[in-house]
Structure 1
């Protein structure tokens, strides 16, 4: 036989059954989260956002702050980041083609080599001085081609991160773009010194890479700004989650069942 409990008010009178409305607790929805998922969220929040940590460290030690753009010129930073990903893929393909071509041209037009056949253009523009400088140009061409491949791969990850709004997927592109831009800035200075700028090929390569470097700086600032927006949203979600878990633990510690409340009321009346 089932036993029914009646709740009484402060006068000792029984409360009608229709008024017996048990309190709803959010402990079931929030407290039901597993410990493993909580630990994974904490570890995820502490391992990502290294770019944000670097920015704060730079500002603390040097007083310089990387500008955070509110928008990307004619659009928002999210859509601007999508354009930056497409732009970096195109630049990566350009870097691979020019890097491989530099290695091919330098190896084909080596001093003392003889070649037979018909060529579409002359190789007079190829450097033919010190072998050490020549080998360094070939090495830089190979590293540039590898950097272009990394740009394409990280751009694909950037597109996935933009689609899912995951800041962790944006970090490889931010680091790769920064390193590649610094690398090409140094190489274009070196190549402009050792190569003869009389030839149109070297002039075009110099102009193209100057334009690419300026575009890289702006694209990096756009993606960096959107990355910080995602980090801020994640931080607010973490704060809200902590508040909800605190409320759930507080609510779970109080008696919520009608039987517990009736026992407490009976003890107070008695």
Structure 2
């Protein structure tokens, strides 16, 4: 398996302290993003792109914090982003899609159906259609019989060798995590495999050693969940996974302030 470099980067900040964490994967001949965070068009037109929710998000709209600019600052070419794998279609996870018009966008079929094709009342008010109005090249996936550590998965070897879409229900219908293989040496984040769990949890204290704020964080988490009955089970399964694979797997989420890109770093 080809060894890939994995970067955890912050592409937008919410509420003054909460990062929008994405993964940038350097595959042998291209780049892959896992989520995009907020994008350049969101910065330029927050009213049209984010709508009333911009007041609740209180996002710091800085073009330097977009994935496009972060990639440039690393000395890489944003045009080399050929694939974007998204955990779900909330505004703070897909705002940058239009900044990479040549990339194919990979998503679970269930998420695409409920957000784009046949949204219910709640999805029509939650998701921002302006963020996919440019017509992304969506590739959608249905889970079959493949399993990884007990989770339903869909291999994405055509995106990057060893990458896997992981079913993590709760936050939205069709919500997924993305597993990216590292070097396996365990000496740095690049060496460990990384599971980006999207919004399957909000703080590492929810799936690891108890944190003082974990219970409080659970209140807004459940308010935002479109499948609230699945949230606790997903937490439990991720906690067991993180404990079982503590030496070679990093389980991260999008908005943990104590992780990379947050106030603790």
Range class of TM-score, shorter chain: under 0.3
Q: Which has the higher contact order (CA 8 A, sep 6+)?
A: 1
TM-score by length of 2: 0.22
Question: Going by fraction, where is strand more abundant, 1 or 2?
Answer: 2
TM-score by length of 1: 0.22
